[in-house]
Chain A
Amino acid sequence: MIHLKSGSRRVLVVLVVCIVFILPLMTLAIRSFQSNAGFSYENYALLLSQSRTHQAIVNTLLVALISSLIATAGGVLVAVLVAYTNIPGKRWIELCVLSPMVVPSYVIALAYTTLFANRGLINQALVHWGLQRINVYSFQSIILVIALCNIPIVYMQCIDALRKVPLEAEWASLSSGHGRLKTLVSINLAQIWPTIQGALLLSFLAALDNFSVPALLGITSNIPMLSTYIYEKAIGFGPSAFQQAAALAMILSSLVMVVLFLQFLVSRKKFYTKSVLAVSEVRMKFSKRGKWMMLFVLVPVFFGIYLLPILTMVMASFSRTFGMVASLSEFSLKNYEFVLTSITTRSAFFNSLWFALISVAVCLVFASMFAYWRVRRPQDKELGVVEKFIAVPYALPGIVLALAMIFFWSIVPGVYGSTLILLIAYVTRYMILQIKGSTSAFRGLHPELEEAGISAGRNRFSQWIRIIIPLTLKPIMASSAIIFISVFTEVTLSSLLAAANSKTVGLSIFSLQQAGNYNQSYAFSALIILFILFIYSVFLIIRKISVHRRKQHDINP
């Protein structure tokens, strides 16, 4: 596909990657040291002397630390329950725990504001009983909602690792006389400890990156966090507000760097195990009574945490007046009518849809070429470094990337202020996901399969269509699905980069809520959840069809 013999072509690729993925961040770094007097530490000095900055840094670190501890504890606990025990309803538990992958974090936060609205049922009941109201616009809520959103990260890593702990390793412990619980802690959890540490760091990073939850729950209640503080500075006025935003972004990035370094240390400490297959046997059997006792506890907890807020929000979306649906007379489809007819929401929907489709397409094309090159020519060592460059915009927090985009691409005329800059930002951020997916897909494709196609005399193009693409479709599509959902629902990049004509879904929901049109924001959120479920089903169907067609071909000789 690419004739890779010339070194000049490789130099070109490295150059392009540096320009697109690295230079914006370097520009950001340089501009953070800029002030009216030229190159100086002024911005940092000013910021670090202000208590608001201290508060923001402390809040950010505390939120990240506590939420990742909670997410890790919760994720490991549920993973153990699903992987090892015989409780019924594991499918439902998994669906609930993984629901933050379908429902964006700001919708979850929005749902909780509905549940704990000042005039909502829960707070009314508390007041009635003489207790204090629960304020959802608080430090604690930010921690809890972010923890909830990051549990899937921990869950997915740990459940696979837990299933791979050999049964016989447990039996060796049980046979020496230790109890079931001691074995679980000293053998199973101890063996997956590096995985747990890695998951903790990942959710810490995700918490540092999170913008929408602190924005929704923290701005109005004046809880400064680095991500929202950067946003405030960037949209604010003042002689050096923009440069100060850059300085704050650098401070946040250095926190991220520390965590990335810790990740690197942890990833080197993998324990030796022979390649093991995951086992799904039940290892800890609850008695019949025990099973129902567990359900008795789990069902209300899961319902209360995952389903109740969303249900409350959906019910409120059918209400004519603000607040929950008090009676049938309050029932109205007015909000949905508004969302489906208003120009702002409709254009937001189609904007996000186009952004998602185009981003997926662009990432697919370039990542596939890059991945193919990487896998087929392992001797081109610089590709490894190039891939690391491409990963940087995903590793850094979204708000930092947004700022870097502004600083860099405003040099090029016609980019800033148009839809182009947001599109560039999306591709810059999510390219690495497609590269990872495509690389692993191509690694699984034996070169002899392609050579057989070549020797049959067909040209390169038909080879791609008939051989390469069908065999690598599934893992590649998985990455595309993640990119699609991420771009469609994202709000951090669009908060700084969206122009008047390129508002996105996330931004639209935010604006509705900030403007006080709560019920409409609920209606829009509900519709978006439905749409995301629809997209997931489409991808599942594509997967099922491609597997089914493969099976058919296997039967025919």
Chain B
Amino acid sequence: MTLILKDISKRYGLTEALTKVNATIEDGEFISILGPSGCGKTTLLRIMAGFLNPSEGELYENDRLISSASIQKPVMRKNFGMVFQSLALWPHMSVTQHLDYVLKAKHLHLTSAQRQFRIEETLEKCDLLSLKNRLPGELSGGQQQRVALARAMVGNPGILLMDEPLSALDAHLRISMRKEIMRIHQLTEATIIYITHDQQEALAMSNRIMVMNQGKVQQFASAEAVYTQPLNPFVAAFVGKYNLFSGQWHGDGFQVAQSDFCFQVSCPNDVFRTLGLCPLRPDQLDFGSQGVAGEIVFREFMGQYQLYEVKCDQGNFRVEIEITRVFLAGEKVFLSLRSNL
């Protein structure tokens, strides 16, 4: 089942929540929608789920038009599971009743025995067997999250829509749930559309990432492409945590402003060329004998490397250095390209 978004826009009064979103999502893909708060991710997901009408544009499933501005009641599609940011658990139903309610949907045609089996199976997968008769009010945040996930999965949906499902969890639980979701994707080959504002999560889990800002799609490409070949400064800064040097592009490289140093790199695309920005990741930089002059202000020990923040005339830039070489705050350094690139 291919999902096609054509020029989807959504306006609330005078505010544009979404502007001309175009995308094609193939069957079985894991797509992350990544962006800061308020960029329109949840609105887009709700339009894809059929709960909201776009103000302009159309939404197609395979070749069937399922939502547009003129369709009063968006077609309620049958086979999808949704995890809400607020979880939206039903306070009057136990965990088992949540799953049973979903499975009782008429289009599934399951017998009572089949439902029982499916429920037990799902409870086990989500480690909820010991909690199966509890009400949501009697569960911790992490347990509630697992229930929300179980409810979305239990009907074996062809498409899973998830709105920041792990944001409320602690780091440890988040990593184990992340693995669980990826396992589900492998097993069921469902299409998963996953909203997050955590770029690490998006990079780790997805086939392709849709980066959004202020209602517009900034880049929609594979995780590697979004990370190593950002299309514009926003994607560079948000996903790869690139440093952005300002200056001037010319034939052999990039002339850094307020400095006489030149980075020997090729210009990624015209956007950067016009803006006069050079994106370089912290791991692409090094402290050398010559380069952009600066002074170290902070050092953060990140385990595998040290992250230094260097204050230069232009601004502050971050550099990753191996832990074997130690520099101190206040030291004067020169930023240059790492030589093994």
Binding site for B on A (CB under 8 A): 166, 168-169, 171-178, 186-187, 190-191, 193, 271-273, 285, 287
User: When the two chains form the complex, which single residue of A168, A178, A193, A272 contacts B88, counting CB atoms closer than 8 Å?
Assistant: A168
Q: Check if B135 sits within 8 Å of A166, measured CB to CB.
A: no
Residues from chain B with Cβ under 8 Å of A166 in the complex: 86, 88
Q: Which DSSP category, helix, strand, loop or mixed, fits chain B's interface?
A: loop
Q: Check if A176 sits within 8 Å of B91, measured CB to CB.
A: no
**CB-CB nearest in chain A for B49:** A175
Known: A168-B84, A271-B137. A177 touches B151 (CB 8 A): no
Residues from chain B with Cβ under 8 Å of A173 in the complex: 90, 101
Stretch at the interface among B72-80, B189-197, B310-318, B326-334: B72-80
Q: Check if B72 sits within 8 Å of A287, measured CB to CB.
A: yes
Residues from chain A with Cβ under 8 Å of B80 in the complex: 175
Q: How far is the CA of A211 from the CA of B72 in the complex (A)?
A: 51
| Interface flag for B204 (CB, 8 Å) | no
Binding site for A on B (CB under 8 A): 49, 51, 72-73, 76, 78-82, 84, 86, 88-93, 101-102, 104-108, 135-138, 151, 155, 161
Q: Check if A178 sits within 8 Å of B90, measured CB to CB.
A: no
**CB-CB nearest in chain A for B93:** A190
**CB-CB nearest in chain A for B104:** A178
Q: Check if B91 sits within 8 Å of A177, measured CB to CB.
A: no
Q: How far is the CA of A442 from the CA of B310 in the complex (A)?
A: 55
* Chain B: minimal CB distance from A281 (Å): 11
Minimum-distance CB pairs A-B, first 10: A272-B137, A177-B105, A168-B88, A271-B91, A176-B102, A175-B82, A168-B84, A172-B88, A169-B88, A177-B78
Q: How far is the CA of A103 from the CA of B151 in the complex (A)?
A: 49
Residues from chain B with Cβ under 8 Å of A171 in the complex: 49, 51, 82, 84, 88
Q: Check if B92 sits within 8 Å of A191, measured CB to CB.
A: yes
**Residue of A166, A176, A193, A272 ringed by the most chain B CB atoms within 10 A:** A176
* Chain B: minimal CB distance from A537 (Å): 34
**CB-CB nearest in chain B for A168:** B88
**Residue of B49, B81, B105 ringed by the most chain A CB atoms within 10 A:** B105
* Chain B: minimal CB distance from A533 (Å): 37
Q: Check if A176 sits within 8 Å of B73, measured CB to CB.
A: no
Q: How far is the CA of A168 from the CA of B73 in the complex (A)?
A: 17
Residues from chain A with Cβ under 8 Å of B93 in the complex: 190
**CB-CB nearest in chain A for B163:** A168
Q: Check if A177 sits within 8 Å of B90, measured CB to CB.
A: no
Q: Check if B81 sits within 8 Å of A175, measured CB to CB.
A: yes
Known: A191-B91, A271-B92. A285 touches B72 (CB 8 A): yes
Q: How far is the CA of A272 from the CA of B105 in the complex (A)?
A: 26
Q: Check if A187 sits within 8 Å of B90, measured CB to CB.
A: yes
Can you list 12 A-B pairs, Cβ within 8 angstroms, ordered by A? A168-B86, A172-B88, A172-B151, A174-B76, A177-B76, A177-B79, A177-B102, A177-B108, A190-B90, A272-B135, A272-B138, A285-B73
Residues from chain B with Cβ under 8 Å of A271 in the complex: 91-92, 135, 137
Cross-chain pair count, CB within 8 angstroms: 68
Q: Check if B81 sits within 8 Å of A176, measured CB to CB.
A: yes
Given contacts A166-B88, A176-B151, 7 further A-B contacts (CB under 8 A): A169-B88, A171-B82, A172-B84, A173-B90, A175-B49, A177-B106, A177-B108
* Chain A: minimal CB distance from B1 (Å): 15
**CB-CB nearest in chain A for B78:** A177
* Chain A: minimal CB distance from B122 (Å): 13
Q: Check if A178 sits within 8 Å of B137, measured CB to CB.
A: no
* Chain A: minimal CB distance from B200 (Å): 26
**CB-CB nearest in chain B for A173:** B101
Q: Check if A190 sits within 8 Å of B78, measured CB to CB.
A: no
Known: A177-B107, A272-B135. A193 touches B82 (CB 8 A): no
Q: How far is the CA of A175 from the CA of B46 in the complex (A)?
A: 11
Residues from chain B with Cβ under 8 Å of A193 in the complex: 92
Q: How far is the CA of A522 from the CA of B104 in the complex (A)?
A: 57
**Residue of A177, A178, A187, A193 ringed by the most chain B CB atoms within 10 A:** A177
Residues from chain B with Cβ under 8 Å of A178 in the complex: 101, 104-105
* Chain B: minimal CB distance from A332 (Å): 55
* Chain A: minimal CB distance from B251 (Å): 55
Q: Check if A272 sits within 8 Å of B82, measured CB to CB.
A: no
**CB-CB nearest in chain A for B82:** A175
**CB-CB nearest in chain A for B98:** A172
User: When the two chains form the complex, which single residue of B84, B105, B136 contacts A176, counting CB atoms closer than 8 Å?
Assistant: B105
Residues from chain A with Cβ under 8 Å of B91 in the complex: 191, 271-273
Residues from chain B with Cβ under 8 Å of A177 in the complex: 76, 78-79, 102, 105-108, 155
* Chain A: minimal CB distance from B222 (Å): 28
User: When the two chains form the complex, which single residue of A172, A187, A285 contacts B82, counting CB atoms closer than 8 Å?
Assistant: A172
**CB-CB nearest in chain B for A178:** B105
* Chain A: minimal CB distance from B145 (Å): 14
Residues from chain A with Cβ under 8 Å of B84 in the complex: 168, 171-172
**CB-CB nearest in chain B for A288:** B72
Q: Check if B90 sits within 8 Å of A172, measured CB to CB.
A: yes
Residues from chain B with Cβ under 8 Å of A169 in the complex: 88-90
* Chain B: minimal CB distance from A493 (Å): 41
* Chain A: minimal CB distance from B54 (Å): 17
Known: A168-B84, A191-B90, A287-B72. A176 touches B155 (CB 8 A): yes
**Residue of A173, A175, A177, A191 ringed by the most chain B CB atoms within 10 A:** A175
Q: How far is the CA of A271 from the CA of B51 in the complex (A)?
A: 26
Q: How far is the CA of A175 from the CA of B74 in the complex (A)?
A: 12
Residues from chain A with Cβ under 8 Å of B51 in the complex: 171, 174
Q: How far is the CA of A307 from the CA of B320 in the complex (A)?
A: 79
**CB-CB nearest in chain B for A273:** B91
Residues from chain A with Cβ under 8 Å of B161 in the complex: 175
Residues from chain A with Cβ under 8 Å of B137 in the complex: 271-272
* Chain B: minimal CB distance from A192 (Å): 9
Q: How far is the CA of A273 from the CA of B76 in the complex (A)?
A: 27
Q: How far is the CA of A173 from the CA of B97 in the complex (A)?
A: 12
Residues from chain A with Cβ under 8 Å of B73 in the complex: 285
* Chain A: minimal CB distance from B131 (Å): 15
Residues from chain B with Cβ under 8 Å of A273 in the complex: 91
Q: How far is the CA of A271 from the CA of B94 in the complex (A)?
A: 12
Q: Check if B92 sits within 8 Å of A190, measured CB to CB.
A: yes
Residues from chain B with Cβ under 8 Å of A174 in the complex: 51, 76
Q: How far is the CA of A174 from the CA of B73 in the complex (A)?
A: 13
* Chain A: minimal CB distance from B74 (Å): 11
Q: How far is the CA of A287 from the CA of B73 in the complex (A)?
A: 9
Q: How far is the CA of A193 from the CA of B72 in the complex (A)?
A: 31
